[in-house]
Amino acid sequence: MKSKFFAIKLTAFLASLTFFSGCAGSSNGDDLEVPTNLPPICRDIDFVANPDMREMCGVRRAHNKAYKNIPQQRYLIKPSETSIVKTGNKLELRFQNSLPLYLDGPIVNEIMFNQEKRLEKIKNNYDYHEIYNKESKERTRIFKMGIPTDLGGTYEFCFRIPELKGNARTRNKAMGNNIERMSCEDFETIIAADKASRGL
């Protein structure tokens, strides 16, 4: 009888520990909801070590297990204001004034997004080319990015920047240039053709 009573008390004690640890939240900051539009002055702040800065920067604590789907963000070193955002199992590449582009493949699970890594910019490489065709008077703007992961690999992605439609009177900055994905094979073909046309 005593052993049964002890088991009941132990179960109740463990349940209370679970409850209070859940209320306390995660000490490593995994349950912090950090906005993906942080102003530059807030991006280098460690919100675990400096909880008094959270309110000013719009950071809050998620109060339930939904925090696993909180968008998490890391900035790249170039182009300016480019970042990668992970929500659940989805990875987005976000350029300034452009719609986000989804990244797929192994890279999705090879970039870390904890609060410590959030403070580290991803040191990607960036190869930009602007090609002007004198005959057609068309401009082609393309670039390749090599994105390193926290597991040591690097993945390459290639993009095209389409020309803005309309004219200076009808378009505005909000329209932006919606950057498009292209195959890196096509990227290399365009670069090789441009070099050949210039005798390089």
pTM listed for this prediction: 0.76
Residue 106 burial (C-beta neighbours within 10 Å; 0-12, 13-18, 19+): exposed
pLDDT of residue 22: 41
151: helix, strand or coil: coil
Whole-angstrom distance, CA of residue 47 vs CA of residue 109: 24
Q: Which residues contact 195 (CB under 8 A, 6 or more apart)?
A: none
In sequence order, the β-bridge partners of residue 128 are: 143
Collect the ranges in the chain with pLDDT lower than 50.
Answer: 1-25, 169-175
| First-residue to last-residue Cα distance in the chain | 91
pLDDT of residue 53: 94
pLDDT of residue 164: 73
Antiparallel, parallel or unpaired: β 72-75 and 60-61: unpaired
pLDDT of residue 176: 54
